[in-house]
Amino acid sequence: MDRRKFFRLLGAGGIFGLLKARAQTPPWDEETFASMKTLGAPLSEYGQRSPFEEGVVRYISPNLRTRHSGADFAPLEKLEGVITPNGLHFERHHGGVPQVDPAKYRLVIHGMVERPLVFTLEDLKRFPSVTRTYFIECAGNGQNGYRNPPDPQLTATRSRGLASNASWTGVPLALLLKEAGVKPEAKWLIPEGMDAAAYTRSLPLEKAMEDVLVAYAQNGEALRPEQGYPVRLVVPGWEGSIQVKWLRRILVTDLPAMAKDETSEYTDVMADGKVWAFTWIMDPESIITYPSGLQQIKPGFHEIRGLAWSGYGRITKVEISFDEGKTWRQATLEPPVERYAFVRFKMPWHWDGKEVVLWSRAWDEKGNTQPTREEFFKKWGRNNRYHYNAIQAWRILPDGRVVNGDRPLGQQAFGPAGGCGGEVFDG
Amino acid sequence: MVKRILVLLALLGLAVGARYNLGTPISEELAAQYDIRPAVLPDGRGLPPGEGKVEEGERIYAEKCASCHGARGEGYPFNRLVAEPFPITPDTEPAEFAIGNYWQYATTLYDYIRRAMPFGAAGTLTNEEVYHLVAFLLYMNGIIDAHEPINQKTLPQVRMPARELLELDPETKRRFPWLTLP
């Protein structure tokens, strides 16, 4: 282009631009500048989030029969990165949240040990410490996937929000067990909580010696009461219900307790009618958090974002399909990609305004991936309550609304039975 | 020579466990005092002396359990407890899961009732009362006769119908080959 013509065009554009700017209403008002005219809030001893963010809360099902035993969901689609803020970590308890005075706190290890021991919180903190990022996921996560036909009102929260991810600090349980001297005939630990349910489970000694943490801190501060203050177990990759909170006692023994929460609950009814016990390891999961159920998007650029994790170790890849599984494209994983921890996946995407269904599936280092709904129910019973990890589909409608894109399976109605999350079938 | 013995002793110390000497040793007696709701194992360990009678259990149930679990254990507002003594099938809805058709170990009943029930008043039942309730619930589910005594010896022998459905998760079996279900 010749220079004179270029400047002429630029000049024309400039004048046109100026005229246009005069006609345009500013996309702000006086309120936008208000904070610059007065002093802000003073220093505060414990920071609070902006009052404008107070709507970002855990989801508590209105169908729960009591709020003293049940679970609530982390608002996954309203969070960024991989760390779940402490006030939003999903909860699950069986007899309310106890208020424990750390000065009165004791942990006893007894049973098949050389030296029964009692620890104070101070004792536990004096041991060499470990800080690791691990997800904790309720075995009942995904329970809304059992619903048939699928719930059109489903959100990412209600799909997979019984999972959270935090940086946990504590002492390896192996160190405490060595201190007590485990006898050769011991094979099991029966950890017990100091809640009103005196919650117990059975944990194989072998796992405890591998990587179980006796944790006292969560994302840098003391555990939240809902997460077991002052001390809980963190059992990497395993179902949340075995990660006993408010830990008061560990019985070392040679048999599992077959406690209520590993027999009448947290056992799995399979499609062939068998009931599986000790389904500890959490299968790979992924959930697209944006765009996701009940959100609204506009045509143009979007970054598809989501979370993936697996109880088998590291996530190796996450794939996204735009054609219900016929073809797959690989998403980017945001480092660090750690074992037994949430990883954030992303994919740049241009939405052309046409109806489309998004699927995501995670792959882990053991080669496991997520099944479709059809595949999932070939193995797991339709009336099972736990371990649902089938692909979650989101349908973008032409008007930009995002709804549950899961396919119905047959005519028969099924539903979650009001398990830990209280998401009862209402159809 | 002395040096060699010292090195040997140090190595022995490491082998024995390299302990931190943190925490306070306690006697078995003290540990038992702390153990206010002992775990009951499937072989009966942890069960106290005492014996349960169905009619006593019926009385306690009506007073302390029926408001949550229904007059005859049919459930509502909380879990159903009584079902036919036949194991569930894949078509049984989870709301129908109860002791007679889903619980796999009778000892779990004792452990759980003593540990966590009644909801909101855990720890208020005596050991004897727990036995009565266990006897009543097993009777209501058609597992035992009205006059069968339930105690330390008999409870671990009670075979639950749903036990025949229970299997180890194959992945758990693979990772812990030594592990078997009681």
Q: What is the pLDDT of residues B54-109, one digit of tens each?
A: 999 999 999 999 999 999 999 999 999 999 999 999 999 999 999 999 999 999 99
- Number of Cβ within a 10 Å radius of residue B50: 15
C-alpha to C-alpha distance for A105 and A245, rounded to whole angstroms: 13
Instruction: List chain B residues with CB under 8 Å of A422.
Output: none
Instruction: List chain A residues with CB under 8 Å of B108.
Output: 258-260, 263-264
On the question of a common fold for A73-154+162-275 and A285-404, the answer reads no
Q: What is the pLDDT of residues A245-287, one digit of tens each?
A: 999 999 999 999 999 999 999 999 999 999 999 999 999 999 9
CATH code for residues A73-154+162-275: 3.90.420.10
Residue B124 maps to a domain: yes
The CA–CA distances, whole Å, from A188 to A200, B33, B108, B128 equal 12, 22, 17, 28
pLDDT on residue B6 = 55
Chain B interface test: which of A176, A260, A266, A425 (most B C-beta within 10 Å): A260
Instruction: Evaluate whether A104 touches B14 at the Cβ level (below 8 Å).
Output: no
Interface of B with A in 88-107 (CB under 8 A): 88-95, 97, 99, 102-105, 107
User: Given the structure tokens 């408001």, which residue do they identify?
Assistant: B67
The CA–CA distances, whole Å, from A77 to A284, A293, B1 equal 19, 9, 69
pLDDT on residue A245 = 98
pLDDT on residue A23 = 80
Instruction: List chain A residues with CB under 8 Å of B34.
Output: 106, 108, 110, 118, 249
Q: Which residues, 6+ apart, have CB-to-CB distance to A261 below 8 Å?
A: A94, A199, A200, A201, A241
CATH of residue B104: 1.10.760.10
Residue B70 maps to a domain: yes
CB pairs below 8 Å between A and B: how many?
187
Please give the full DSSP string across A285-351, using - where no structure is assigned: EEEEEES-TT-B--SEEEEEEEEEE-TTS-EEEEEEESBTTSS-EEPEEESP--TTS-EEEEEEEEE
Residue from A73, A141, A96 nearest A245 by CA: A96
pLDDT on residue A15 = 53
The model carries a pTM of 0.93
Task: Work out whether the CA dihedral A378, A405, A158, A153 comes out positive or negative.
Answer: negative
- Per residue in B123-149, is it b (16+ CB within 10 Å) or e — as a string? eebeebbbbbbbbbbbbbbebbeeeee
Distance from the Cα of B1 to chain A's closest Cα (Å) equals 31
The correct CATH number of A285-404 out of 1.10.238.10, 2.40.10.230, 2.60.40.650, 1.20.1250.40 is 2.60.40.650
pLDDT on residue A37 = 96
Chain A interface test: which of B47, B163, B165 (most A C-beta within 10 Å): B165
C-alpha to C-alpha distance for B47 and B36, rounded to whole angstroms: 13
Residue spans of the domains in chain A: they are 73-154+162-275, 285-404
Residue B51 belongs to what domain range?
Answer: 43-175
Minimum-distance CB partner of A117 among B24, B41, B103? B24
For residue B4, pLDDT beyond 70: no
ipTM more than 0.90? Answer: yes
Query: Quick one: pLDDT band at residue B8, thresholds 50, 70, 90?
Result: low
Q: Closest residue of A to B92, CA-based?
A: A383
Average per-residue pLDDT in chain B? 93
Domain count, chain B: 1
Segments of chain A with pLDDT less than 50: 1, 6, 9, 427
C-alpha to C-alpha distance for B74 and B79, rounded to whole angstroms: 8
Pairing of strands A117-119, B24-25: antiparallel
